[in-house]
Amino acid sequence: MTETTALQDIVDDEGVQEQPISAVPLYLALFALALGGFAIGTTEFVTMGLLPQIADGVNISIPTAGHVVSAYALGVVIGAPTIAALAAKAPRKTVLVWLMVAFAIGNAASALAPSYLPLLAARFVSGLPHGAYFGIASIVAASLVPKAKRTWAVAMVLAGLTVANVLGVPGATLLGQRAGWQWPYALVAGIAALTVLAVLTWVPWQQPDEDSSIGAELRSLKKLQVWLALGIGVVGFGGMFATFSYIAPSVTEVTGISEGAIPLILVVYGVGMTVGASLAGRVAQRGIMRGIFMSLAAIAVLLGVFGFALHSVWTAVPAVFLLGLVPTLLVPMLQTRLMDVAEEGQSLAAALNHSTLNMANALGAWLGSVVLGAGYGYEWPSRVGALLAVAGLFIVGLSVLVGWRERERARL
């Protein structure tokens, strides 16, 4: 079978895509985009597995080290919508390359940070390209295949994030424990540099979208349903991050698992994420809003019992698996919901989904630090997280009510 024939088998069941890439195999283009996702996923979550080492390395407490997680998340929150809007008319391949260059610089600076405040600043800079990269990479991937294959192409890009949580995060955590907390960030900077080369080599050039504009992207923010969807992600998903941000000290202090076993715990979490991603489509078949409600209800129950589960290794490990699985069901459904309600602001909506999740990251890590700073044990961040998930259920109900009223007005 020739390379071109293999490509046709993958992409063509409704006709040839508008921008064929016969000169560059589709799978290599998607691999290049997914490699950036792997780097981003590794750096985003490895900090949580190395909080004790980071705290010791820059002479701060573990709750204060949680602010390093929040700094990265705030960078994503600010960078995703800003870059997506400003780069609306720029060539997407060029934007992807410069986003990865900035990401590499931010992670290199993190590895070289001599103290807490420079590390905080470097993590913020590292987060700026995150959401915009995933949003633009998803649009590029979707543009390379026919409409019927777009979800598959986007899933291939996001697979980099899933693989990062199975292999990248545990491996980088082990590296950080053995060689020092700085080395995982240096490793990620190297992967980002490889991504730049891969994108330049394998991702085909695309002309800027002449219909795109900052105004068209920003008009989606006038829609109430967009803000409600964002609120569901921030509040509902924040509970998971309130728990996972402190997973390393939680399982060592409460469960009694050794520090050397933390990479294995992260593998369990990553496998849970992989299973959750594979099940999300089936859950969504019951209806997007119903799936979101069911997922949030399951998150609330899981976080409500998570603190109790930590007291035995036999219950802690399955709980960590479910902590990866259940919230991951929510991510693609929120992505779909945002794109449905944003309409013409597709680029911004795609970026805002990741911005939303990192708002949740910042909120959850901060609330966890507040609870721990007040003297409560590591069983308590998850209990605060359960309350956040319940609040997310109320926002889902409000969104359904608003949608019902909008449909009633349209009938009149």
Distance from C-alpha of 57 to C-alpha of 209, rounded to nearest angstrom:
47
Which residue range forms the structural domain that includes residue 316?
A: 20-411
Residue 1 within any structural domain of the chain: no
Residue 217 within any structural domain of the chain: yes
Instruction: Please indicate whether residue 349 or residue 318 has the higher confidence score (pLDDT).
Output: 318
At 203, which CATH number? 1.20.1250.20
What's residue 16's pLDDT? Answer: 35
Contact at 8 Å (CB) between 16 and 149? no
Q: In the structure, what pLDDT confidence band is assigned to residue 249 with cuts at 50, 70 and 90?
A: confident
Residue 14 within any structural domain of the chain: no
Could you give the number of structural domains in the chain? 1
What's residue 365's pLDDT? Answer: 80
Which of 67-76, 94-103, 243-252, 323-332 is modeled with the greatest confidence? 94-103
Q: Which residues contact 180 (CB under 8 A, 6 or more apart)?
A: 53, 57
- With 0.85 as the threshold, say if the pTM is over it: no
Sign of the torsion angle spanned by Cα atoms 273, 327, 70, 317: negative
User: What CA–CA distances, in Å, run from 133 to 95, 199, 214, 333?
Assistant: 8, 12, 17, 19
Q: At what angle do helices 288-309 and 313-342 cross, to 10 degrees?
A: 160
What's residue 151's pLDDT? Answer: 59
Task: Report phi then psi at 269, rounded to 5.
Answer: -60, -45
Residue 380 within any structural domain of the chain: yes
Instruction: Please indicate whether residue 38 or residue 12 has the higher confidence score (pLDDT).
Output: 38
What's residue 105's pLDDT? Answer: 97
Mean pLDDT of 19-46: 81
Nearest residue to 119 via CA among 75, 167, 173? 75
Residue showing tokens 């469960």: 255
Distance from C-alpha of 389 to C-alpha of 234, rounded to nearest angstrom:
10
Residue 9 within any structural domain of the chain: no
> What ranges in 128-257 are assigned the alpha helix state H?
130-143, 150-163, 169-179, 182-202, 214-219, 224-231, 237-244, 247-250
Distance from C-alpha of 43 to C-alpha of 52, rounded to nearest angstrom:
16
What's residue 386's pLDDT? Answer: 92
Mean pLDDT of 326-349: 74
What's residue 346's pLDDT? Answer: 62
What would the pLDDT profile of 363-407 be if each residue is shown by its tens digit? 888 888 888 888 888 888 899 989 999 999 999 999 889 888 878
Residue 370 within any structural domain of the chain: yes
Residue 204 DSSP class: P
What's residue 196's pLDDT? Answer: 97
Q: In the structure, what pLDDT confidence band is assigned to residue 126 with cuts at 50, 70 and 90?
A: very high
Percent of the chain with pLDDT over 70: 87
Residue 229 within any structural domain of the chain: yes
What would the pLDDT profile of 281-316 be if each residue is shown by its tens digit? 777 777 888 888 998 999 999 999 999 999 999 999
- Both tokens assigned to 320: 């960590």
Residue 247 within any structural domain of the chain: yes
Q: Which residues contact 171 (CB under 8 A, 6 or more apart)?
A: 263
What's residue 343's pLDDT? Answer: 67
Residue showing tokens 């019992």: 305
Q: In the structure, what pLDDT confidence band is assigned to residue 102 with cuts at 50, 70 and 90?
A: very high
Nearest residue to 203 via CA among 290, 93, 44? 93
Element (H, E) at 254: none
What's residue 18's pLDDT? Answer: 44
What's residue 2's pLDDT? Answer: 36
C-alpha Rg value of the chain to the nearest Å: 21
What would the pLDDT profile of 253-276 be if each residue is shown by its tens digit? 888 888 888 888 888 988 888 788
What's residue 191's pLDDT? Answer: 97
Q: In the structure, what pLDDT confidence band is assigned to residue 199 with cuts at 50, 70 and 90?
A: very high
Which of 88-92, 189-193, 256-260, 358-362 is modeled with the greatest confidence? 189-193
What's residue 323's pLDDT? Answer: 92
What would the pLDDT profile of 207-243 be if each residue is shown by its tens digit? 666 655 666 666 767 788 888 888 888 887 888 888 8
Nearest residue to 43 via CA among 127, 159, 157? 127
Percent of the chain with pLDDT over 90: 30
